[in-house]
Amino acid sequence: MHDPTLVGIHHVKFPVSDLARSRAWYERVFELRPVLEFRDEHDGAVRGVAYEVPGLPEVGVALRENPAAARGIAGFDPVSFAIADRDAAQAWADRLDEQASGGGTDAGAGVPGRLLA
């Protein structure tokens, strides 16, 4: 019998209050590729989406519409993604500044200090 061992992270799921707005932002800024949509079993509306993440082939990202949970984690960073170095941090800050006019998300989109602390 094998000892149970964690071997990585399968996916990270973020609750959002507005799926369409958050989806557009994450797809534009992070170039996420949708691989699966989750439909509500009662009304058939899309309430979530799973993505492949460029540069992170082993970890998926998902968004799930859940306004109460999104409000509950406001101001809290549930995950931090690694980047190469200070030059990469500046490149991300520049990219987020460029995207800021495209609207925010529940996670503080367009606020580099929140994502690049």
What pLDDT does 41 receive?
A: 94
Say whether pLDDT at 116 is over 60.
Answer: no
**Where do the domains of the chain lie?**
11-67+78-106
Q: Which of 37-46, 67-76, 104-113 has the lowest mean pLDDT?
A: 104-113
What is 11-67+78-106's CATH topology?
Answer: 2,3-Dihydroxybiphenyl 1,2-Dioxygenase; domain 1 (3.10.180)
**70 within 8 A of 16, measured Cβ to Cβ:** yes
Residue spans of beta strands (DSSP E) within the chain: 11-16, 33-39, 46-53, 56-65
Side chain identity at residue 108, one-letter code = G
At residue 1 the predicted structure's pLDDT band, cuts being 50, 70 and 90, is confident
Span 13-33, mean pLDDT? 95
Say whether pLDDT at 20 is over 60.
Answer: yes
What pLDDT does 11 receive?
A: 94
